[in-house]
Structure 1
Amino acid sequence: MNTSADDQASRDEEVLARSERLERLPFTKKLGKLLGTSGVGWALDAMDVGLISFIVAALAEQWGLTDSEKSWVFSVGFIGMAAGATLGGLLADKIGRRSVFALTLLIYGIATGASALATSLGVLLVFRFLVGLGLGAELPVASTLVSEFAPKRIRGRVIVWLEAFWAIGWILAALIGYFIVAGSDDGWRWGLVIGAVPAIYALVIRLHAPESVRFLETKGKYDEAEKIVQEYEESAGPEYEYTGPTVQSEVDAEKYKLPQVDKHLTIWSPSMRRRTIALWIIWFAINFSYYGAFTWIPSLLTAQGFSLVKSFEFTLIITLAQIPGYALSAYLIEKIGRRSTLAIFLAGSAVAAILYGQAAVDWQIIAAGMMLSFFNLGAWGALYAIGPELYPTTVRGTGTGAAAGFGRIASIITPLLVPLFIGWGGNVLTFTVFSIAFAIAAGAAFFLPEQRGKSIH
């Protein structure tokens, strides 16, 4: 019995949408290249976000910044990120994922390099806003692009792998902070020069990353979409060659009874409203706690009496715990589902925040900090995997971008609130508030639909 021939004959009779053809593929070299290309951009983003926490700690000593001024250096970047996330998502649904991805890298890379020339707090704040504008738009767009190419069997895991590049960026930031920023009076300037690398990398993204097949089809670019899908099928091997009819219009899609997308759907339509609200709550709460904790940890450590070098060393060690957090999240997300994985890691983050607030000596600070890093970044990985799966192609960029933009409001507020929390109740009160926010996010996760193993359209 020629099973292979029978299977091929069966495939020939099938009528598959291009999105379904991508769904049936294994993890290929083409997908690996897209993941790596997007991941490097993701790591460079993380490097910039992490780097500013070290630079603020250094500038506090050199420029004599007050707690309020340090807060504004953080917050103005997050104001830019809020605007960028919302605008970037909208643009991704209008002009394409790849173009927005490259543009955002270019904007924040140039602005980061220009920040190295700042001679006053005012000038630095202007550049930090521009950096945030580019950075905020890039993250949800990148996760959307990779989600639209990843097969449904491993989509969640692939997006967690993408998010894991964040750990690489933070480790790079910690290394730059430890060896360069703390090394000399001009170390912070050289750190920002290194942060300008994304401007160069933007060209690589534009030339080598494919555009989303699903996006191209919504714009009627069927030939271009077909070419990309065929390249991915060739990368998977001859057994995945598709010889059936191809969809060249919406009429064809209707004729072959393929999944249809409601072009009038919005993220606030009745069928989308509950998931949008839950996603926004999670984004707000996780941003509130993550950026409140991790952007302030180097400064909080120096305020506790640790030297600048010692505080940077602690932060580097704590950051390393992100990697196993991502690894476990990537494993669990396809085993127990998106919602449960996200809720577990958020609950773990809540416990870790309480412990960090109580930490007083070196080993306690490092242990609780590593636990917080492990669970919090695992939660981030699951969150980025969930977002793009919740919405159809026509509003996927808008949905993920809007949630990220709303979350950035929390990251604007928190750096301004941390000095107040510290003044009222020290680390105990500060990290208790963060713990409560994590717990709220964990509860909201169960209001999201479980999308494990489901196709996106």
Structure 2
Amino acid sequence: MNASPVRMDDLPLTRFHWRIAGLTFGAHLTDGYVLGVIGYAMIQLQPQMHLTVVQEGLIGSSALFGLFLGSLILGWISDHTGRQRIFTFSFLLITFASFLQFFVTTAEQLIFLRILIGFGLGGDYAVGHTLLAEFSPRRYRGMLLGSFSVVWTIGYVLASVMGHAWINSDPDAWRWLLASAAFPALLITLLRIGTPESPRWLMRQGRISEAHAVIHRFLGAHVLPGDEIATVTTRHIGALFSSRYWRRTVFNSVFFICLVVPWFVIYTWLPTIAQTIGLEDALTTSLILNVLLIVGALIGLVLTWSLSRRRFLISSFLLLALTLSVLAFTSASNGTVILFLFVLFSTAISAASNLVGILPAESFPTDIRSLGVGFATAMSRLGAAISTALLPIVLVSWGMRAMLLILVAVLLIGFLVSVLWAPETRNLSLVEAADGELKPLEKIDEHSVGV
């Protein structure tokens, strides 16, 4: 007997879903590794290249500047040309630039290559989140998209393990650390060959027969497409600021910025910060705190499954702001309290970061989804890049307490914007979540959003 027809949104998880998820997760593993390893490489880079404070900041933030450009440009291209081409191109670029880091001789060369790596990673953020969201059944979409944070964190912690093990073993350990990202990147590039185009994107272009062919080949002959219709949205950046979507654009950009700025400021420079606040054996301490990020990411995955998106986000901003506020006024001699606060911060921000993979992908219609995800990612990476570059200067000029209080202000801005505009997209199809009108704040069902 033929199986009963079922829509893409209502499918159980299949082997194909896990394949797409695995290819996208591999990208986030590499991303976490690339961004995490630079903090350890900097321990050797600074004395060997006699880096100035400005050069240190630029090297630490260069991949983030690349992420800003790649998210914006490649996300926009993806909405015009499709997801699959950028899905492959991004990792060709990452593989090539990562390998060349081994041979750099100047700070300027390293900055340029890390901008290229970030450019590829930015495109992959925009397209990877979009592609997985457009293939995922609604019941499992939050879990799969939220898993990005878990996998990214594993990559980041792996960088910490490698850095901790290698950095004092050889004067050129920094070269091996930076170039080692080329190996997983090459593997992912090869495995991505043959990835199909998103049927939702094909439907929006009016390429109905191609969309059905992809669905039937990879999901089954009994599977029907979602409720996509032919394109109704102009595919340029101005659409993100139209009367219908500007609140989504502002919310996703601001909440994303306000989560990643504290993350990257603290964790890019974690070994340095640990030394500054007087924790003994700063490398070991920073490694332990990084490992705790995995625990937080797994907790966040459970909370994403069980709580409303809105309540989870708002509560996280409050907890993070409170934690850094207390840390700012804790004496440097009280190492036990400082370590506890760092543990709490690490766990909470890692858990909340699951939402950066979910909310942007659920907030925009198919024909501008990559553009919307890319724009939010770009803004977050620009904010993280600027703040990471300025950190050495802030520490020297104003001290640790001022830096922590600035981060508290950033988190409180995220809290306010989330209270005003955070939508509840849990258990909705992509069409319902992205194409429907956002409810005004005063009309939101308090039970459904959990506040």
Shorter-chain-normalised TM-score: which range? 0.7 to 0.9
Task: Give the drift of 1:43.
Answer: 0.4
Partner of 2:248: 275
**Number of residues of Structure 1 aligned to a counterpart in Structure 2:** 425
Aligned to 1:203, which of 177, 189, 196? 189
Task: Give the drift of 1:228.
Answer: 3.1
Query: Would you say 1:418 and 2:391 are equivalent positions?
Result: yes
Tell me which moved more, 348-357 or 50-59: 348-357
Aligned-residue RMSD, C-alpha:
2.5
Task: Give the drift of 1:222.
Answer: 3.1
Amino acid across the alignment from 1:110? F
Query: Would you say 1:182 and 2:172 are equivalent positions?
Result: no
Amino acid across the alignment from 2:8? L
Partner of 1:434: 407
Amino acid across the alignment from 1:286? L
Tell me which moved more, 391-400 or 55-64: 55-64
Distance change >3 Å, CA 101–CA 352, structure 1 → 2: farther
Q: Is the 8 A contact 1:267 1:276 kept in 2?
A: yes
Aligned to 1:331, which of 302, 314, 320? 302
Q: Is the 8 A contact 1:342 1:379 kept in 2?
A: yes
Task: Give the drift of 1:412.
Answer: 2.2
Tell me which moved more, 112-121 or 384-393: 112-121
Query: Would you say 1:50 and 2:36 are equivalent positions?
Result: yes
Partner of 1:237: none
Distance change >3 Å, CA 262–CA 108, structure 1 → 2: same
Aligned to 1:301, which of 274, 282, 285? 274
Give SS of 1:312's match.
helix
Please list the CA deviations of residues 208-260 of structure 1 after superposition, one character each: whole Å capped at 9, or x if unmatched: 533211112223443342233234544xxxxxx628xx68xxxxx9xxx9766
Give SS of 1:209's match.
coil
Distance change >3 Å, CA 208–CA 306, structure 1 → 2: farther
Aligned to 1:153, which of 139, 152, 173? 139
Tell me which moved more, 101-110 or 387-396: 101-110
Task: Give the drift of 1:52.
Answer: 0.9
Partner of 2:434: none
Tell me which moved more, 225-234 or 112-121: 225-234
Give SS of 2:139's match.
coil
Give SS of 1:267's match.
helix
Distance change >3 Å, CA 167–CA 376, structure 1 → 2: same
Distance change >3 Å, CA 418–CA 99, structure 1 → 2: same
Partner of 2:67: 81
Distance change >3 Å, CA 305–CA 363, structure 1 → 2: closer
Distance change >3 Å, CA 102–CA 348, structure 1 → 2: farther
Please list the CA deviations of residues 138-181 of structure 1 after superposition, one character each: whole Å capped at 9, or x if unmatched: 12321111111111122112111122101110111001101122
For residues 134-283 of structure 1, the aligned pairs below 5 Å read 134-234=120-220, 242=222, 262-264=232-234, 266-283=239-256
Partner of 2:378: 405
Please list the CA deviations of residues 353-385 of structure 1 after superposition, one character each: whole Å capped at 9, or x if unmatched: 234443635444433222222111222211211
Q: Is the 8 A contact 2:35 2:63 kept in 1?
A: no
Task: Tell me how far apart the structure 2 counterparts of residues 67 and 55 of structure 1 sit (CA, whole Å).
Answer: 15
Q: Is the 8 A contact 1:55 1:177 kept in 2?
A: yes
Task: Tell me how far apart the structure 2 counterparts of residues 280 and 293 of structure 1 sit (CA, whole Å).
Answer: 20
Task: Tell me how far apart the structure 1 counterparts of residues 249 and 331 of structure 2 sit (CA, whole Å).
Answer: 36
Q: Is the 8 A contact 1:156 1:338 kept in 2?
A: no
Task: Give the drift of 1:394.
Answer: 0.3
Partner of 1:340: 311
Scaled by the length of structure 1, what TM-score is found? 0.86
Partner of 1:35: 21
Task: Give the drift of 1:205.
Answer: 4.0
Amino acid across the alignment from 1:455? S
Aligned to 2:45, which of 59, 72, 83? 59
Please list the CA deviations of residues 31-77 of structure 1 after superposition, one character each: whole Å capped at 9, or x if unmatched: 12221221011101110000111111221233332322211112332
Distance change >3 Å, CA 185–CA 356, structure 1 → 2: farther
Aligned to 2:288, which of 313, 317, 320? 317
Task: Tell me how far apart the structure 1 counterparts of residues 326 and 39 of structure 2 sit (CA, whole Å).
Answer: 22
Q: Is the 8 A contact 1:98 1:205 kept in 2?
A: no
Task: Tell me how far apart the structure 1 counterparts of residues 392 and 39 of structure 2 sit (CA, whole Å).
Answer: 15
Task: Tell me how far apart the structure 2 counterparts of residues 23 and 456 of structure 1 sit (CA, whole Å).
Answer: 8
Q: Is the 8 A contact 1:317 1:366 kept in 2?
A: no
Task: Tell me how far apart the structure 2 counterparts of residues 195 and 87 of structure 1 sit (CA, whole Å).
Answer: 23
Distance change >3 Å, CA 124–CA 216, structure 1 → 2: same
Give SS of 1:449's match.
coil
What fraction of aligned residue pairs are identical, expressed as a percent?
Answer: 24
Q: Is the 8 A contact 2:203 2:229 kept in 1?
A: no
Partner of 2:428: 454
Please list the CA deviations of residues 273-329 of structure 1 after superposition, one character each: whole Å capped at 9, or x if unmatched: 11111112112222322211111112223445678xx33322221111222222222
Partner of 1:112: 98
Partner of 2:87: 101
Aligned to 1:374, which of 320, 332, 347? 347
Partner of 1:353: 324
Amino acid across the alignment from 1:409? L
Task: Tell me how far apart the structure 1 counterparts of residues 378 and 191 of structure 2 sit (CA, whole Å).
Answer: 23
Amino acid across the alignment from 2:234? H
Task: Tell me how far apart the structure 1 counterparts of residues 415 and 173 of structure 2 sit (CA, whole Å).
Answer: 40
Unaligned stretches of 5+ in structure 2? Answer: 432-451
Task: Tell me how far apart the structure 1 counterparts of residues 278 and 297 of structure 2 sit (CA, whole Å).
Answer: 32
Q: Is the 8 A contact 1:28 1:232 kept in 2?
A: no
Task: Tell me how far apart the structure 2 counterparts of residues 258 and 29 of structure 1 sit (CA, whole Å).
Answer: 24
Q: Is the 8 A contact 1:38 1:205 kept in 2?
A: no
